[in-house]
Structure 1
Amino acid sequence: MQPLSSDDPHAIGPHRLLARLGAGGMGKVYLARTPHGHLCALKVVKEDLAHDHQFRARFAREVHTAQRVHGPFTPAVVDADPQAPAPWMATEYVPGPTLKEAVRANGPFPEPSLRVLTLGMAQALHTIHTAGLMHRDLKPSNILLSPRGPQVIDFGIARAVEGTVLTRTGQTFGTPAYTSPEQITGQNVTPRADVFSMAGAVLFAASGKPPFGEGTPISTLTKVMKGDPLLESVPEGPLRDLLARCFAKDPDQRPDADAVLQELSGLPLPSAEHGWLPSQVNQQINVKAGQTRRAEAAEHTTAPMTAGSGPRTAFAAPGGPGGEQGTRPWWRSRTMVVAAAATAALILLGGGALALNALPLGSDGSPEDAAGGDETGDGPESDGSHSEAGEGGGEAAGERSELDDSALQGFLYSLGFSEDGEELHVFGSNTLSSWNWREGVPLDHYTPTPTGAVMTPDGFVAGTALNHIAVWEGGSDNRIAVIGNDDGEERGQFDMPALNSDSTLVATIGSDDGTVDGEPNIHVWDVQTRELQSEFAVEGRLTELFYTPDDSALVGVVTEPGYSPHIAAVVWDPETGEELQRFDGAEYYAVSLSPDGTSLAMVTDRTEAHIADIGTGEVRDLESAGLTYNELTEVEFSADGSLVYGATSEFSDVPGLVWDAESGGLVPTDGLTLNVPVGVHPDGEHIATAVSEGGAYTIRILDSDFNIVAEVN
C-alpha cells in the first residue's frame, strides 16, 4: 500500500481515492471510499486498453455478469463504469495479503490450512460458475487471505483483457504456471479449467513453488501439457488424491467445483479456537488492517493521518490509528484476525454440497517471539490484487537490524527528536527507526515494525503487536519488557502505546474481556513488574493517546460509538478513569500538548485551530486562515510553547500555518510548507516535515527561516 503520488487522481467516479494498492497488467488498483462511507478496491484500466473499443464491450459484459456474483469467498463488485474515459470497477476491499505474498513471506501452509484453502476456493468457483462466469486466471496473486476464508478476486476480468492481447493467435490462456492444458490449446475451455488452476494454487501454498516447478514460460507450458504436478508437498491422503484428479489433462476426468465441495465436506477442519491460517499470516492481516486505517486517516476520512505514537510533547507527533467505517463494528475493525470465531459455521445444503457461511478462524494469540513475530510492512507493488505485504520477520533481542531501502515508503505516522536533538525518530507503516538527521544516516531499526509505537525523547520505545506490548531502552538491542497476555489472562489486541514521563508505565487500548468482541478499555501497565495497574472503559473508538508531562492525565481523541462522525478530545485520570475534561462538537479533532502540559492545541473540522486549557476547559480560537476545505490536519506547539504550527496534507495546496500561541494571531510566513507528520526540534530552531513522491518519503529539516538544512531519504 502506497500513498497517492502526484500523477494519481483524487477521485474516480463518485469514489474518493485514499491510497494505491498495486498495479498489474490491467492497470492500477486504489483503496477508495465510496459515497456511502465504505471501503472498496478500485481498479482502473490502462490507457491502451481504454482506447480499445472491443475491450470496452467485453469489459462491460464481464462486469455486468460479475455484479451477479455474491458469496462469502468472492468480494462483491459494488460499482463500475465501463464507459468512463478510463474504465474502472470497484469491489469490496479485503485488507489481507495475497496467497502469493503470504507464502513467500512465511513459508508453506500446514495441511489443515490447505484443506480450508481448497474448500473456500471451491466454494468461490461454485459461486462464480453458477453466475455464468469463468475465472480464467486463478492464481495465488488473485487469492486474498482473510480470517473468514480465501477471497477470490478478478473473476471474469481475464477474458476481457486477453481478448486484446491474444486474439491474433486465438489463445486464451492465463498465467502459464496455473493455466490448464485446454486453455493453452484454446479448445474445449470449460469451468473445469478453473479447477485445474485451483489445484495449482493449493500446491503453491503447500510447497512455496509453482505446481509444475520453476522454468521459463515456454518450458512451464510444456510441463502443463505433458508433465506431472509436484504433489509430494501435500501429505498422502484424501486431499492429495483429490488434487491429483483436479490435475487431469482431460477436463472431463476432473471433478467440477461442486464435486470438490462434496468430497471435502467429510474432511476435518481446524477449530474456530485456533483459526485456519498460520499465526504469521494472521499477523500480516493485522498489520494490513492497521495500514488500511492509517491510509484512511491520511486522506482525512475518520481520523488524523498520524497514528500509533504516544507521549505528546513538543518533540513528538500525534498518534492513533483511524477507524474503519462501513459495515464492520468499530471495535472489530482493529483486527479482523480473530473476529467472530465463535460463530464460524459450516452449513450442508441439499444434494450434499457444502456451503461455507464462515470458516474456522481466529488466532492462538501467541507471538512468534517476544518482539512480535513476523509482522511485516509494505512491499513492492503487486500485480493488481487488492493489497500486498512485504517480506519480513522477527529478530531476537540483542541484534540490531539493517534498514532497507523501503523504510521510508508506505505511510509516515510520526516524527520526533531525541532529547539532545541529534537523532530523528521515525514511525511509519514500514519503519520504526532512528536517524542521524544531519547526515541522513540510519542509526537503528526496530523489526518487525509494530502496529503502534512511541519513541520518547530520552530513548525509551514502546511498540504494540498482535497481543502484547514490547518496551525497549536505548535501542532495539535492549528490550526490557514484554507485557500483555503472558499472565494467563487474555487481554485481546493492543494498540497506541503511551509512555509516562519516566517510562515506568505504559498505557494502551485493549478490551474489557480479553477478546476483540469486548468493549474498548484503556489499560495501564507497570513496565517493570508487567502488572496491570488500572483499567477503564472508553465510550467510542480511540484514535490518539498520550500522557501529560506530569503524568496526572491521559489525553485521547475518541469518536462516538457506532458510525457517528462526532469526535471528542478527552482527558482522563489514568488511575481512576475519571473523565476530567471533554472537548467536542466537531467531526474532526487533532490535538497537541503544550510543553508545560497545561494546554491543548486542537484542530476541528480540518479547517480551524484552537487552544484549550486542560484545567478549566476554556477554549480560545486561533485566527482563522479562511480554509473552506478539509486541509488542516495537524497542529504542534513550538519547543517553548510560544508558537503553534499548522500542517496540511501533502495533497493540499495550502501553505504551512503558524500562530502566536498567546495572541492567537497568524504569524506571517514566506514559502513555508508543512505536511503531516511534523516533528519539532528541542532547540526551537528546527522543524521536521515530510514530502512524498512516488510512494517514498523525504524528510526535510527546516531552520527557523524555513529553509531546508538537511534531508533524510
Structure 2
Amino acid sequence: MQPLAVDDPSSIGPHRLLARLGAGGMGRVYLARTPDGHLCAMKVVKEELAHDAQFRARFAREVRTAQRVRGPFTPAVVDADPDAQAPWMATEYVPGPTLKEAVRENGPFPAESLLVLTLGLARALSTIHAAGLMHRDLKPGNILLSPRGPQVIDFGIARAVEGTVLTRTGQTFGTPSYTSPEQIVGENVTPKADVFSMAGAVLFAASGLPPFGEGTSISVLNKVMNGEPNLGALPEGPLRPLLARCLEKDPARRPDADEILHELSGTPLPSAEHGWLPTRVDRQIDAKAVETERAGANEHTTVPMGGESATVPMAEQARQGPESWWRRRSVVVAAAAVCALILLGGGALAWTVLPDRAEDPPPTAGGGGEDTDSDGSDTGPPGEGADDEERPASDHFAGFVYTIDFSEDGDLVHVFGSGTLSTWDWRTGELVEDYPPATGARFTSTGYVASTVEQYIRVWDGGVDDRIAVLGRTEEFGMFDMPAITRDGSTLAALASQDGTVEGDPFIQIWDVEKGEVTSDFEVEGMLTHLEYALDDSVLVGVLAVRDYSESIATVVWDPETGEELHRFDDAETYDARVSGDGETLVVAADDEKAFVVDLAGGDVQDLDVPEEAVGELGYVALSPDGSVAYGASSLFGTSEGYMWDTATGEPLPSEGLEFDSVIGVDPGGEYLATTSTDGGVTSVQILNGDFEIVAEIS
C-alpha cells in the first residue's frame, strides 16, 4: 500500500480514494471509501485499454456477470462504471496478504491449511463457474487470505483483456507457472483450466515454489506441456492423488470444482478455535488491518454513529469506536468456523458462512490485491505505452535475484530478478530506475539495458524514459530469451526459436539495435542459461542446456559475426560462466565441485583448487575486472562462505569473512562486491568492501 501520488485523483465516481494498492498491465488499484463509509478496492483501467472499444464491451459484459457472483470466497463487486472515461470496478476489500506474499514471507503451509485452502478455492471456482465465468488467471497473487477462508479476486478480467491492445501487441495474459496446457496452445479451454491453475496454487502453498519449478517463461511453459509437477511437496493424504488428477495434461481427466468439493467433504478440518491459517499469517492479516486503518487515519468521512450521521476523522473513530471487524477475536473465531461447518446434502458440499456479510458491523467493501505479480508474469504491453509503474521497494527483491551488476563508476547497482529489473544508488538506498518486469535481462556497465518478454526485446539507454528500441513483435520471430548487449548499445544478441514457439529449433540472433534489423543468426543445439558479450564485444559466451533445462550441454565461446565456435567445454555439467571486465578471461563452475579459468586469446585452461568444503555445492562464479581473481559461491540459496582464487596459479586466496548468497556482483573499479542476503523472508542487496565488510544494504 502506497500513499496517493500527485497525479492520482482524489475520488472516482462517488468513492473517495485513500491509497494505492498496486498497479500493473491493466491499470491501477486503489483503496477507496464508499459513500456509506465502507472500504473497497477500486481497479481503474489504463488509458490504452480505455480507448479500446472491444475491451470496453467485454469489460462491461464481464462486470455484469461478475456482479452475479456471490459466495463466501469471492469478494463481491459493489460498484462499477464501464462507461466512464477511465472504466473502473470496485469490489469488497479484504485486508489480508495474497497467498504469494504469505508463503514468501512465512514459508510453506501445513497440511491442515492446505486442505482448507483447496476447499475454499474449489468453492470459489464452483461459484464463478456457476455464474458463467472462468477465471483464466488463477495464481497465488490473485488469492487473498482472510480468517474466513481464501478469497479469489480478479475473476473475469483475463477474458475482458483477451484480443485487446495488450494481447495484440504481445502481452500474454496469464501466468506461465499456473497456465493449463490447453491455454498455452489456445485449444479447448474450459472451466477445468481453472482447476489446473488451482492445483498449482495449492502446490505453491505446500512447497514455496511454482508447481513446475523456477525458470524462464519458455522453460516453464515447456515443463507445463511436457514435465511433471512437484507433487512430492504435498503431505501424504487425500490431497496428493486429487491434485495429481487436477494437474492432468488432458482436461477430460481432471475433476471439476464440484467433484473436488465432494471428494473432500468427509475430511476433518482444523478447529475453528484456532483458525485455518498459520499463526504468522494471522499476524500478517493484523498488520494489513493496521496499515488499512492508517491509510484512512486522517480522512474525514460521514459514517453512521449511534443511528445518526456525523463527520468524524477516521483516527478519532479508531480511538472511540469498537475495533475493526477483522481484528475482533470473537469475529475471527466465528469467521474461522467457515472452515469447520460442513453440511452434506444430496452428495454436495455446502459451506455456511459466519458471520454473514450483513451482520453488525458489516465487513468493509473492496477486493484488494495487486494487479502485478513479482515472478514477472504481468509484463505490460510492449512498444509505446508500456506500463512502467513504480512499485514499493519491498517488492523488488522477492523471489530470486539472478544478477547484480555495477555501473562503470561503481555508484549504482543494477539488479535483475524474478521480481525486479531495477537500478539503485547503493550508498543512499534510493531506487533510481524501475524497468518493466522481464523474463531475461542484461545490463551493461555503461547503462544500456536489454530485456526480453517472450515475443519482443526492449532496449533502454540509461533510464526507463530513454527506451531506444523494441525488437521483434512480428510473426517471423518470437519466444525470445537471454539477451546480451554490447557495451556501446549498438548490437544485441538473443536466443530465439525458428517458428516462435517452444518447440521451434533454437538459434541466436544478432540485431542492429538502431536499425531494428537482424544482421546474422546461427543455430545452437539447446537452450541458454547464460549469454554475454566480452567487454571488447569480440566474442559471445553462453551456457547451453537441453530443452527442459534438466542438464547443461556445454560452455561455448562464439564469434558473434559468424557463429563459429572458438572454444567449447563440454566435459562437465556447467552451472555458471562469466567473463572478466577486460574481456580476456573466462571462469566456469562445473559439476558442483570444480572450477577453471580460460585465457580466451590463447585457449589455455587453469584449474582452480576448490576447497574440500566447497565440493558438492560450488555453483556461482565471477571475476575481478582484470581477471586476476576468481570468486565462487554455493549453488544452494542462503548465505554461505565465499571463495577466492589467484587465476594465474589456481591457488585459493584468503577469504575469511567473505560470504555470498549465490549471486556475485563485481565493481568495475575492483573496490566492491555485491551479493544478496535473506533474513526472515526479506531479501536485501548487500555491498561489501575489500575487507568483506558490509558497507551498504538495500532492503
> Structure 2 length as normaliser, TM-score?
0.54
1: distance between equivalents of 2:196 and 2:666? 54
**Partner residue of 2:541 out of 555, 570, 575:** 555
Given residue 690 of structure 1, which amino acid in structure 2 is its aligned partner?
A: T
Check if 1:469 corresponds to 2:457: yes
1:302-313 pair list within 5 angstroms: none
**Distance change in 2, residues 1:564/1:698 (3 Å):** closer
Q: Is the 2:404–2:663 Cα contact (8 Å) retained in structure 1?
A: yes
Check if 1:578 corresponds to 2:564: yes
Check if 1:118 corresponds to 2:214: no
**Distance change in 2, residues 1:117/1:546 (3 Å):** same
**Corresponding position of 1:229:** none
Which deviations, in whole Å up to 9, do the C-alpha atoms of 1:159-192 show, x marking residues without a partner? 5342644899xxxxxx999x99xx9985543444
**Distance change in 2, residues 1:528/1:28 (3 Å):** same
Check if 1:412 corresponds to 2:392: no
Q: Is the 2:192–2:255 Cα contact (8 Å) retained in structure 1?
A: no
**Corresponding position of 2:435:** 446
2: distance between equivalents of 1:124 and 1:564? 23
**Distance change in 2, residues 1:119/1:21 (3 Å):** closer
SS at match of 1:491: coil
SS at match of 1:463: strand
- Compute the displacement of 1:506 (Å): 1.1
**Corresponding position of 1:666:** 652
Which deviations, in whole Å up to 9, do the C-alpha atoms of 1:327-355 show, x marking residues without a partner? xxxxxxxxxxxxxxxxxxxxxxxxxxxxx
Given residue 189 of structure 1, which amino acid in structure 2 is its aligned partner?
A: G
- Compute the displacement of 1:598 (Å): 2.2
1:192-271 pair list within 5 angstroms: 192-193=348-349, 217-220=354-357
**Partner residue of 2:643 out of 650, 657, 660:** 657
- Compute the displacement of 1:97 (Å): 5.3
Check if 1:370 corresponds to 2:383: yes
- Compute the displacement of 1:426 (Å): 1.1
Given residue 574 of structure 1, which amino acid in structure 2 is its aligned partner?
A: P
**Partner residue of 1:631 out of 610, 617, 620:** 617
Q: Is the 1:534–1:575 Cα contact (8 Å) retained in structure 2?
A: yes
Given residue 160 of structure 1, which amino acid in structure 2 is its aligned partner?
A: T
1: distance between equivalents of 2:471 and 2:248? 29
2: distance between equivalents of 1:121 and 1:476? 35
**Corresponding position of 1:162:** 269
2: distance between equivalents of 1:403 and 1:567? 39
SS at match of 2:393: coil
Q: Is the 1:634–1:647 Cα contact (8 Å) retained in structure 2?
A: yes
1:318-333 pair list within 5 angstroms: none
Q: Is the 1:608–1:627 Cα contact (8 Å) retained in structure 2?
A: no
**Partner residue of 2:466 out of 478, 501, 508:** 478
2: distance between equivalents of 1:286 and 1:651? 17
- Compute the displacement of 1:664 (Å): 1.5
**Corresponding position of 1:507:** 493
Given residue 543 of structure 1, which amino acid in structure 2 is its aligned partner?
A: T
1: distance between equivalents of 2:373 and 2:250? 11
SS at match of 1:551: coil
1: distance between equivalents of 2:646 and 2:660? 17
**Distance change in 2, residues 1:545/1:146 (3 Å):** farther
**Corresponding position of 1:602:** 588
2: distance between equivalents of 1:652 and 1:185? 42
- Compute the displacement of 1:558 (Å): 0.7
**Distance change in 2, residues 1:121/1:533 (3 Å):** closer
SS at match of 1:110: helix
Give structure 1 stretches of 5+ with no counterpart: 1-19, 31-42, 64-72, 74-93, 126-132, 169-174, 198-215, 223-279, 291-365, 374-393
**Partner residue of 2:412 out of 423, 447, 452:** 423
Q: Is the 2:608–2:645 Cα contact (8 Å) retained in structure 1?
A: yes
1:117-136 pair list within 5 angstroms: 117-118=190-191, 120=193
**Corresponding position of 1:567:** 553
1: distance between equivalents of 2:694 and 2:274? 55
**Distance change in 2, residues 1:106/1:603 (3 Å):** farther
1: distance between equivalents of 2:627 and 2:680? 35
Given residue 368 of structure 1, which amino acid in structure 2 is its aligned partner?
A: P
Q: Is the 1:96–1:144 Cα contact (8 Å) retained in structure 2?
A: no
Given residue 645 of structure 2, which amino acid in structure 1 is its aligned partner?
A: W
**Distance change in 2, residues 1:184/1:665 (3 Å):** closer
Q: Is the 1:608–1:625 Cα contact (8 Å) retained in structure 2?
A: no
**Corresponding position of 2:279:** none
Q: Is the 1:144–1:151 Cα contact (8 Å) retained in structure 2?
A: no
Which deviations, in whole Å up to 9, do the C-alpha atoms of 1:105-157 show, x marking residues without a partner? 696243798994436569999xxxxxxx999xx9xxx9999997999798655
Given residue 436 of structure 1, which amino acid in structure 2 is its aligned partner?
A: D
1:638-653 pair list within 5 angstroms: 638-649=624-635, 651=637
2: distance between equivalents of 1:693 and 1:167? 27
Quote the sequence identity (%): 35
Which deviations, in whole Å up to 9, do the C-alpha atoms of 1:241-273 show, x marking residues without a partner? xxxxxxxxxxxxxxxxxxxxxxxxxxxxxxxxx
Check if 1:458 corresponds to 2:446: yes
2: distance between equivalents of 1:151 and 1:176? 31
- Compute the displacement of 1:657 (Å): 0.8
> Structure 1 length as normaliser, TM-score?
0.53
Give structure 2 stretches of 5+ with no counterpart: 1-97, 120-128, 130-136, 145-150, 163-182, 199-236, 276-332, 360-369
**Distance change in 2, residues 1:110/1:711 (3 Å):** closer
**Corresponding position of 2:686:** 700
RMSD: 5.0
1: distance between equivalents of 2:548 and 2:341? 54
- Compute the displacement of 1:532 (Å): 1.1
Of 474-483 and 617-626, deviating more is 617-626
2: distance between equivalents of 1:643 and 1:134? 54
Q: Is the 2:408–2:669 Cα contact (8 Å) retained in structure 1?
A: no
Which deviations, in whole Å up to 9, do the C-alpha atoms of 1:673-696 show, x marking residues without a partner? 122211111221211111112332
Which deviations, in whole Å up to 9, do the C-alpha atoms of 1:63-99 show, x marking residues without a partner? 9xxxxxxxxx9xxxxxxxxxxxxxxxxxxxx995576
2: distance between equivalents of 1:538 and 1:123? 33
Check if 1:45 corresponds to 2:111: yes
SS at match of 2:267: helix
Higher relative contact order (CA 8 A, sep 6+): 1
**Matched positions, count:** 444
**Corresponding position of 1:311:** none
**Distance change in 2, residues 1:193/1:475 (3 Å):** same
Q: Is the 2:614–2:634 Cα contact (8 Å) retained in structure 1?
A: no
**Corresponding position of 1:685:** 671
**Partner residue of 1:589 out of 575, 579, 586:** 575
2: distance between equivalents of 1:566 and 1:369? 31
**Corresponding position of 1:435:** 424
